[in-house]
Amino acid sequence: MNLLLFLFCPAIVFALTPTQYLIKLEPNFTDSSYEAEVQIHVKLTEELKEFQLNLPKNADIATIYFFEASNVFRGNPDFIGQPTNYEINKNAETTNVKLRSPVELRDVKEGAYVKVVYLGKISNQTSQIYFKDAHTIEVNQKSGRFFPSLTNDEPAKVKLTVITDYRAGVEPENGFVAGDHYGYKDNKFANVFDSTKNLKTSQIAFKVKAPTLLVLNSN
């Protein structure tokens, strides 16, 4: 009897499935702070009114938006964003996020994503983002989550962008290749990396090296 129940038990189907993670982090060596933005691009399987997120520990959540695109404008999805309602429980693993307007499948014909913006302090102690030494910031999620995910935390392709000063170094782990780096605002530099395989956000780890001095040979 138990075997029959197991065989006919329906699989859990999630309303949202991640298709890509776009992650941007800007750490600051001077004041030991960071700003982060994560876009979780998703597919919908049914009408959506609410969903759950795993949020980073010890971070201040600035905004959670849901973007949807039913049309294309000039060759790109024409995303429209709506704010969400949520309450952060520091003791809970997940946060329930409610949409202000339901989203139907026809609303996301050209795409959809969840956008989370947050900020916090870089620790000198064991945490998710910390100073490994005076010249190295490390992101390592063995002691807890730093990047948001859906509750199922399914793997997907990742584009990682780390904003630094010029001549800083970024060393990702777990299978990344260098993408198209570019100049950023305020004389910063965007270090871009693409994953070579699907990853969960909890598997992302990397180091950021402080800028090195440019020494000119006087000879």
- The domains located in the chain, with CATH, are 15-209 (2.60.40.1730)
pLDDT score of 214: 53
pLDDT score of 4: 46
- Mean pLDDT across the stretch 68-91? 93
pLDDT score of 154: 93
- Mean pLDDT across the stretch 106-132? 92
pLDDT score of 217: 58
Q: What is the mean pLDDT of the chain?
A: 89
Checking if the pLDDT of 9 tops 50, the result is no
Checking if the pLDDT of 158 tops 80, the result is yes
Say how far apart CA 101 and CA 19 lie, in whole Å: 23
Token pair of 12, please? 């859990």
In tens, the pLDDT along 188-197 reads: 999 999 999 9
pLDDT score of 99: 96
Please provide the DSSP assignment of the chain as one string. -HHHHHHTPPPP--SEEEEEEEEEEEEETTTTEEEEEEEEEEEESS-EEEEEEE--TT-EEEEEEEEEESSEETTEE--EEEEEEE---TT-SEEEEEEEEEE-GGGGTTEEEEEEEEEEE-BSSSSSEEEEETTEEEE-GGGS--S-EETT---BEEEEEEEEETT-EEEE-SSEEE---EEEGGGEEEEEEEESS-B-GGG--EEEEPPPP------
In tens, the pLDDT along 132-157 reads: 999 999 999 988 899 999 988 899 99
Token pair of 212, please? 């090195």
- Mean pLDDT across the stretch 173-192? 93
Angle among Cα 63, 69, 71 to the nearest 5 degrees reads: 155
Instruction: Give the chain's largest Cα–Cα span.
Output: 86
Say how far apart CA 30 and CA 197 lie, in whole Å: 34
Say how far apart CA 85 and CA 11 lie, in whole Å: 29
